[in-house]
């Protein structure tokens, strides 16, 4: 049985690319990721936001693949950006990876992350 995405009648539609709620079916396998940042495979961190966002989502897809899951199994995403000016660029990148999938989602602008050169961090929850 697949996860069920919901946007109840009687409330405003989501403000962005997400669903208001997601139901995980009983007995599903659940994957919870640590926060992922824009570190490349060679442990370098690009200076620009778009490259960090691409690395972050590439790494998240590897975590999903390693667990025999895809973005279709995502139920929740927490996005942490250090600069609101990057929201539009970020939406373009993460929606490229998500396609038509709309998990529950929270996006926060934060004062900083664990290292000053990091410009975003993303956590996912997936279920299958």
Query: Global pTM?
Result: 0.91
d(CA 103, CA 125): 9
Q: Domains in the chain: how many in total?
A: 1
pLDDT digits (tens, 9 = 90+) for 13-27: 878 878 888 889 899
Residue 6 has pLDDT above 80, yes or no: no
Q: E strand or H helix at 91, and its extent?
A: helix 87-98
CATH code of the domain containing 100: 3.30.1330.40
Residue pointed to by tokens 């109840």: 8
Position 76 in a domain:
yes
């Amino acid at each position: 049985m697949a996860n069920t995405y919901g946007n109840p009648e009687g409330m405003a539609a989501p403000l962005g690319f997400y669903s208001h709620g997601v139901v995980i079916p009983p007995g599903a396998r659940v994957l919870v990721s640590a926060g992922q940042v824009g570190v490349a495979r060679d442990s370098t961190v690009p200076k620009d936001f778009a490259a960090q966002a691409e690395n972050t989502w590439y790494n998240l897809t590897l975590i999903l693949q390693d667990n025999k899951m895809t973005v279709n199994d995502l139920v929740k995403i927490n996005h942490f950006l250090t600069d609101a000016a990057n929201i539009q660029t970020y939406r373009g990148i993460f929606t490229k990876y998500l396609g038509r999938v709309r998990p529950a989602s929270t996006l926060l602008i934060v004062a900083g992350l664990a290292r000053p050169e990091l410009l975003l961090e993303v956590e996912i929850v997936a279920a299958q």
